[in-house]
Amino acid sequence: MWDGRDFSGAKLALVIGDRTIIYKRDDIPTIPFPGLWDLPGGGREGSESPLDCALRETHEEFGLHIEASRICFCRAYPNHRYPTEYSYFLVAEVEESILAEIRFGDEGERWEVATLRDFLHRPDAVPYLQARLRDWLDTRC
């Protein structure tokens, strides 16, 4: 999963069948992708692994504790803002019951569950995450 290379952050798609949990970013001009629909995740802290980063951010943003065994995809990509750096995209397949456990934090305006198809075709979603989710879908059998 992780080859030990340095990276800047990680995002995690929480997939429930043919749906995923998304949230609308705050509409603040000083942050990347203001007002767009996003997936859980964020910047790396200290020397944490991509998995640790994604799981910590998901807990901070949604109050969820995702088991590492749920991760079914982890891939490094050139960072969308700094192509000489890397960020990671992970996917966890989870049960619908997880929705009752969500405790949305103070980052973002709101959250919802969207079909994968819906998220992939939204004009107001973070584009690089749509591409990474397509990558996962293309490798899924």
Tens digits of per-residue pLDDT, 68-89? 999 999 999 998 777 788 999 9
Residues of the chain with pLDDT > 70, as a percent, come to 99
Alpha helices in the chain (DSSP H): 50-62, 116-121, 127-139
Q: Does residue 4 fall inside a structural domain?
A: no
Domain CATH for 34: 3.90.79.10
Q: Does residue 2 fall inside a structural domain?
A: no
Our count of domains for the chain comes to 1
- Which pLDDT does position 20 carry in this prediction? 98
Closest CA to 107 of 68, 140, 74, 58: 58
Q: Does residue 19 fall inside a structural domain?
A: yes
- Which pLDDT does position 5 carry in this prediction? 85
pTM of the model: 0.94
Closest CA to 19 of 3, 39, 35: 39
Scan for tokens 């569950």, then name that residue.
113
**Span 79-101, average pLDDT:** 92
pLDDT higher for 5 or 98? 98
Q: Does residue 1 fall inside a structural domain?
A: no
Could you list the residue range(s) of the whole structural domain that residue 27 is in? 9-139
Q: Does residue 22 fall inside a structural domain?
A: yes
Q: Does residue 3 fall inside a structural domain?
A: no
